C-alpha cells in the first residue's frame, strides 16, 4: 500500500515506500513519478538480480556490507527480500563475521546516520530525545553500550553496527516489521584509547561512565523506554559481562527484556547439544561438559544446561559435577580470589589446575569454547578429546570467525573426521579424504527472532529463563535426521523463517500457560500458527 501523503521525489527517498524502477505506469502517473525514473519498468525479481550482481562484483565483504547498508537505506523491501532469499550468503555479511569488521571500521566507512544515539551528555533529557525517533510504535529495541562487541572488546560508539545488524535479522528471520525496530547505541564513552584518539571517531571522546554515573544513566534510559514504548521488548546486547548480568537481574522483572549474550546463546547452544546427543546416543543428564571461558556466554549456557539436566531428574549435586568451567586463571574453583557472582554457582571444590589438567581429570564429552581467544582449542586438546570420545562434541563459539577457538577444518582434521563441530560464526564445508563435512553454526540468530516475535505478539510481561529452554527445544525439534547425517547439529539457515515460526509458536504457547500473555490470541494449534505467520513481514511488492 502506497502512502498517499508523499509524492514524487519524496517517495523515491523514503526507503519504506520506494520501489524504484518497479513502480507501475499507473503509480508513476498517480504519484508524480513520471520523468523521475528510467522508462523500462522492472519487477522486484529483476531488481534483485541487478542488486545481487552489483554486490557480488565487489571484492571484499566489507564493501558488500556497505553496499547492502546503502540498499537498506534506499529500498527497504528490496533489501529484506534479498536477505531472506539469500540468507546463507548474506547473513555473514550483514552479521558476524563481517559486521565485526564493519564495527571496527565504522568511523571510516560512515555515510549516513542509522539507529539512535543516547549519550552521556543526554542525561536528564533521554525521554525528551526519544521523541525524535520518527516511528511511534516501536516493539523491539536492541541496545548496546559497545563495551564487548563480539569477541573484539570495547569498540565504543562503533558498536552501533551490532544493534543494526541484529534488528535486520529480527525482520528478515523473525518477520518483525522494520518500523517496529529501533537500534540504540548507549554511548557512555570508551576505554579504548586508540579509538578516542582516532580523529574520525564519531563517539564521545571520553572514558566510560562507571559506577553510580553509569547505573543512573541506564536507569534513566530504561525508564524513558518504558514510558515512550511500553510494549517494547528491550534486548541488551554486547555489554561487558558484569554489566550484562547486573542489568538483566535489575530489569528483567521491571520491563520486557532479555540479554542475548547470556540467554540467547544458552538456548542456541542447548539446541545444538540436543542435536549432538542424537548422534552420540547419550542422555543430556549423562554428559560431562567442559567450558573454556567463564563469561556471559559460557555461564549462560551452563545455567540453562544445569536446568535442563535437573529437569531430566539429575540431583543438584550431580549437576554440578557435570559442568566444568575453565577461564584465563584455570579451572574455576571455590578458593579462587575475587570470584565474580556469575561464576560462583559453577565453582568447584577442587585444587587449582590448568585447562589441560582439568580436561584429563574430568574427561568431558563436550567442549564448549566461549573465550574470544582464537586457537585456544589446540591440536593437543582436540586430539585428546578425540582419544577419549568416539564422537567428541566441540563447539567453538567465539565470534567473529577470526576469534574461533579452532577452525572447522582443524576440528575435523585433528579428530580424524569424528568431531561433531559447531561454531558461532560460519565456516565453509570442509573437504577431507573424499568426504565433505558440514559444520553447524550455533548462531543466536536461530533463537532471538522467533522468541522476540512471540514476546511482542503475546505482549508478554516478562521472559523467564524457562522460555529459553522452550525456544532451544523448539529449535532442536527442527533438526532433521538428514541434518545430523550431514554432521550438522542445526537446521539449514535456508529454513530459518520456518524455525522462527516454530519457536514463536512454542514460546507463545508456553508463555500463555505461564500467564505471561497480555494480548488476545487465537486458540492454540493451527489457528495460532496461521496468525503468527500472517503477522510476519512480507517484503514482496
Residues belonging to the active site: 95, 166
User: Rounded to the nearest whole angstrom, what is the least distance from the CB of residue 318 to ligand NAD in the complex?
Assistant: 24
CA distance 352 to 41: 71
Minimum Å gap between C-beta 467 and ligand NAD is 18
Cβ atoms within 10 Å of 137's Cβ, excluding its own: 10
Q: Which residues of 140-162 are buried (b: 16+ CB within 10 A; e: fewer)?
A: bbbbbbbbbbbbbebbbbbbbbb
Residue 309 binds ligand NAD (CB under 6 A): no
Tell me whether residue 188 or residue 298 sits nearer to ligand NAD (CB atom). 298
Among 398, 415, 469, 500, binds ligand NAD (CB under 6 A): 398
Query: What is the C-alpha to C-alpha distance for residues 430 and 437, in angstroms, rounded to an integer?
Result: 5
Q: Is 371 in the site for ligand NAD (CB under 6 A)?
A: yes
CA-angle at 404, arms to 398 and 409, nearest 5°: 140
Pick 298 or 503: Cβ nearer ligand NAD: 298
Tell me the C-alpha distance between 144 and 160, whole Å: 7
Distance CA 465, CA 472 (A): 11
- Piece of 60-68, 156-164, 165-173, 397-405 that binds ligand NAD (CB under 6 A): 397-405
Q: Residue for cell digits 573424499?
A: 434
Residues facing residue 368 across a β-bridge? 291, 395
Residue closer to ligand NAD, measured from CB, 372 or 439: 372
The secondary structure of residue 333, as a DSSP letter, is B
Of residues 430-489, those binding ligand NAD (CB under 6 A): 442-444
Q: Which residues contact 281 (CB under 8 A, 6 or more apart)?
A: none
Q: Check binding of 150 to ligand NAD (CB under 6 A).
A: yes
In 17-145, which ranges are E strands? 116-119, 140-144
Min CB(441)–ligand NAD separation in Å: 8
Taking the least distance from each CB to ligand NAD, the nearer of 336 and 461 is 336
For residue 295, the minimal CB distance to ligand NAD (Å) is: 2
- Is the Cβ–Cβ distance between 392 and 365 less than 8 Å? yes
| By the rule CB under 6 A, 426 interacts with ligand NAD | no
Does 237 bind ligand NAD (CB under 6 A)? Our answer is no
State the minimum distance, in angstroms, from the CB of residue 375 to ligand NAD.
8
CA 540 to chain centre: 25
Is residue 376 involved in binding ligand NAD (CB under 6 A)?
yes
Binding range to ligand NAD, per CB under 6 A, among 210-218, 325-333, 359-367, 412-420:
325-333
Which segment (214-222, 313-321, 394-402, 523-531) binds ligand NAD by CB under 6 A? Answer: 394-402
The count of residues interacting with ligand NAD (CB under 6 A) is 30
Residue from 145, 154, 187, 327 that binds ligand NAD (CB under 6 A)? 327
Antiparallel, parallel or unpaired: β 430-432 and 435-437: antiparallel
Q: What are phi and psi of 331, to 5 degrees?
A: -55, 135
For position 144 contacting ligand NAD by CB under 6 A, the verdict is: no
What is the nearest approach in angstroms of ligand NAD to the Cβ of residue 397?
A: 4
Q: Which one among 128, 328, 380, 383 touches ligand NAD, defined by CB under 6 A? A: 328
Contact segment (CB under 6 A) with ligand NAD among 28-36, 129-137, 147-155, 279-287 equals: 147-155
CB of 540 to ligand NAD, least distance (A): 30
| Contact residues for 371 (Cβ-Cβ < 8 A; gap 6+) | 151, 292, 293, 295, 398, 405
What b/e sequence results for 198-222 when a residue is b if at least 16 CB atoms lie within 10 Å of its CB, and e otherwise? beebbbbebebbeeeebeebbebbb
Of 11, 173, 270, 297, which lies in the binding site for ligand NAD, with binding defined by CB under 6 A? 297
In angstroms, the CA 147 to CA 129 distance is: 23
Residue with smaller CB distance to ligand NAD, 218 or 404: 404
Q: Is 536 helix (H, G, I), strand (E, B) or coil?
A: coil
**Is residue 151 involved in binding ligand NAD (CB under 6 A)?**
yes
Nearest residue (CB) to ligand NAD, 49 versus 328: 328
Query: Which residues are near ligand NAD by CB under 6 A?
Result: 148, 150-151, 241, 261, 265, 268, 292-298, 326-328, 370-373, 376, 397-399, 403, 424, 442-444
Amino acid at each position: 500500500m502506497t502512502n498517499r501523503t508523499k509524492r514524487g521525489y519524496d517517495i523515491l527517498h523514503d526507503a519504506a515506500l520506494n520501489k524504484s524502477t518497479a513502480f507501475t505506469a499507473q503509480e508513476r502517473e498517480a504519484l508524480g513519478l513520471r520523468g523521475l525514473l528510467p522508462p523500462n519498468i522492472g519487477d522486484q525479481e529483476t531488481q534483485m538480480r541487478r542488486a545481487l550482481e552489483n554486490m557480488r562484483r565487489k571484492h571484499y565483504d566489507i564493501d558488500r556490507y556497505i553496499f547492502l547498508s546503502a540498499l537498506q537505506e534506499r529500498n527497504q523491501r528490496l533489501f529484506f527480500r534479498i536477505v531472506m532469499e539469500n540468507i546463507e550468503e548474506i547473513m555473514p555479511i550483514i552479521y558476524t563475521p563481517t559486521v565485526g569488521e564493519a564495527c571496527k571500521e565504522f568511523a571510516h566507512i560512515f555515510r549516513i546516520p542509522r539507529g539512535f544515539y543516547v549519550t552521556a551528555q543526554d542525561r536528564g533529557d533521554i525521554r525528551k530525545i526519544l521523541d525524535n525517533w520518527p516511528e511511534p510504535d516501536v516493539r523491539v529495541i536492541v541496545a548496546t553500550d559497545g563495551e564487548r562487541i563480539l569477541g573484539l572488546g570495547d569498540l565504543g560508539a562503533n558498536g552501533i553496527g551490532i544493534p543494526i545488524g541484529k534488528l535486520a535479522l529480527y525482520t528478515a528471520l523473525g518477520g518483525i516489521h522494520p518500523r517496529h525496530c529501533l537500534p540504540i547505541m548507549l554511548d557512555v564513552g570508551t576505554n579504548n584509547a586508540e579509538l578516542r584518539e582516532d580523529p574520525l571517531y564519531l563517539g564521545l571522546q571520553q572514558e566510560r561512565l562507571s559506577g553510580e554515573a553509569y547505573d543512573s544513566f541506564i536507569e534513566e534510559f530504561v525508564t524513558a523506554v518504558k514510558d515512550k514504548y511500553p510494549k517494547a521488548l528491550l534486548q541488551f546486547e554486547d555489554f561487558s559481562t558484569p554489566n550484562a548480568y547486573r542489568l538483566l537481574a535489575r530489569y528483567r522483572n521491571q520491563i520486557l527484556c532479555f540479554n542475548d549474550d547470556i540467554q540467547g546463546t544458552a538456548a542456541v547452544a542447548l539446541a545444538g547439544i540436543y542435536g549432538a546427543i542424537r548422534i552420540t546416543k547419550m542422555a543430556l543428564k549423562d554428559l560431562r561438559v567442559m567450558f573454556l571461558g567463564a563469561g556471559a556466554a559460557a555461564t549462560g549456557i551452563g545455567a540453562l544446561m544445569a536446568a535442563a539436566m535437573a529437569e531430566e531428574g539429575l540431583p543438584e549435586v550431580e549437576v554440578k559435577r557435570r559442568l566444568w568451567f575453565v577461564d584465563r586463571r584455570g579451572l574455576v574453583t571455590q578458593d579462587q580470589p575475587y570470584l565474580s557472582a556469575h561464576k560462583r554457582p559453577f565453582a568447584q571444590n577442587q585444587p587449582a589446575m590448568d585447562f589441560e589438567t582439568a580436561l584429563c581429570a574430568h574427561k568431558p564429552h563436550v567442549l564448549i569454547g566461549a573465550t574470544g581467544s582464537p586457537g585456544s582449542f589446540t591440536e593437543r586438546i582436540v586430539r585428546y578429546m578425540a582419544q577419549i570420545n568416539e564422537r567428541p562434541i566441540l563447539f567453538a563459539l567465539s565470534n567473529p570467525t577470526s576469534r574461533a577457538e579452532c577452525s572447522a577444518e582443524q576440528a575435523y582434521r585433528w579428530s580424524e573426521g569424528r568431531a561433531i563441530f559447531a561454531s558461532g560464526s560460519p565456516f565453509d564445508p570442509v573437504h577431507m579424504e573424499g568426504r565433505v563435512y558440514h559444520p553447524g553454526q550455533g548462531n543466536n540468530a536461530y533463537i532471538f527472532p522467533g522468541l522476540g516475535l512471540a514476546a511482542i505478539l503475546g505482549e508478554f510481561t516478562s521472559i523467564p529463563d524457562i522460555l529459553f529452554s522452550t525456544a532451544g527445544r523448539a529449535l532442536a525439534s527442527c533438526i532433521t535426521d538428514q541434518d545430523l547425517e550431514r554432521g550438522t547439529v542445526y537446521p539449514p539457515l535456508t529454513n530459518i523463517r520456518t524455525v522462527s515460526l516454530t519457536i514463536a509458536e512454542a514460546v507463545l504457547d508456553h508463555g500463555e500457560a505461564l500467564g505471561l500473555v497480555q494480548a488476545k490470541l487465537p486458540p492454540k494449534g493451527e489457528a495460532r500458527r496461521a496468525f503468527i505467520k500472517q503477522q510476519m513481514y512480507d517484503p514482496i511488492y
